[in-house]
Amino acid sequence: MLASKQNFKVQLWITLLGLVLFAAKIAAYYLTSSLAILTDALESIVNVLAGVIGLYSLYIVTKPKDKEHPYGHGKAEFISAAAEGTLIIAAACLIIYQTIHNLLQKKPVESLDSGLLLVGITALINYVAGTLCITVGKKNKSMALQASGKHLQIDTYTTAAIIAALVIIKYTQWLWLDAATAFGVSLLVFYNGYSIIRKSLAGIMDEADLDLLAQLVTILNLHRRENWTDLHNLRVIKYGSTLHVDCHLTVPWYLTVHEAHREIDALESLIKKEFGDALELFVHTDGCRSFSCAICTKKDCPERLQPFQHKITWTLENIIRNERHGSVASGVNKAMADGKG
């Protein structure tokens, strides 16, 4: 909950900052009549609207779980990110339209010194603000905040390209470069919007985060306990900054309920140490079976039916399957038998 409140405060400041920067870019456009600067200003409208949407979604996320939302309200972040992506694409289309319109009117570029100073300042502020958003967003696993930060940083890159183009125009009088830069920036803005929508829809549809799963598998392998005979059917679902982790953990069948629960507690502590407290772990425990002996690393097991033969290294492929690694153990036995033959 503290992370959600921090996300909300950062987004509030970003929204207010967006209003100030938008006003500065509009002023720069009126000074210069530059299509490229107008492009930057139009994108800033999206920054403001997206900031308001993100702010509302982060307010929703801070609400506690209730009867209607037993997993919390974290999905609101994905919806707000999708809305932001849509607005970004709309801005790109508006930029293209305005570029063509101004080209037909053939407006000259004026007062470049003052305009360059204004947009240069906004670019620097945007980059700092975007870095802050991404840093806090990653720390608190907030997609809405990360989307805002990414948008602000891309806004910085586009502004830098615009400044470079205007400097060239100042010394060469290549006026066509203004429109060409505006059009190129609009394509980058369009792609940025598509990327944000793609990522938000993946979150809404609970698409597997393979990078996150791979990171989790690495941690489990490094800190594996001997009573963790097998782990499978691993799934991670994101609800905003909260991660829901489901898995099946195979332990020695003769452990008491309390002993098995201690293994689950150890697993939970391990994952929370890496991913933070905004995590819910749901573990189904299985008792080991006879075929598990061949892959079980537990020493001095009083119930071992056959000797240890091969340690199964958990991988992204075998740990997400909804089946025990008994088939793998059987394959090892068969391979060893064939080798002896």
What pLDDT, on the 0 to 100 scale, is given for residue 337? Answer: 39
Options 3.30.420.10, 3.30.70.1350, 2.60.40.420, 3.40.50.1820; which CATH number does 210-340 get?
Answer: 3.30.70.1350
Percent of the chain with pLDDT over 70: 82
- Asked if the model's pLDDT at residue 108 lies above 60, the reply is no
| Same fold: 2-204 with 210-340 | no
Query: Mean pLDDT, to the nearest integer, of 218-223?
Result: 92
181-210: average pLDDT? 77
Confidence of residue 332 (pLDDT cuts 50, 70, 90): very low
Distance CA 185, CA 157 (A): 9
Domain borders along the chain are 2-204, 210-340
pLDDT band for position 4 (cuts 50, 70, 90): low
Residues 6+ apart with CB under 8 A from 14: 51, 54, 129, 133, 148, 152
For residues 305-327, average pLDDT: 84
pLDDT at 114 over 90: no
The average pLDDT across 72-79 equals: 72
- Residue 329 C-beta-side C-alpha neighbours within 13 Å: 21
305-311, Cβ contacts within 8 angstroms, sequence gap of 24 or more = 309/333, 309/336
For residue 335, name the pLDDT band (cuts at 50, 70, 90). Answer: very low
Q: Is the pLDDT of residue 341 over 60?
A: no
Considering the chain, what is the average pLDDT of its residues? 78
Task: With a cut of 90, say whether residue 2 has pLDDT above it.
Answer: no
The CATH number of the domain covering residues in 2-204? 1.20.1510.10
pLDDT, residue 311, reads 86
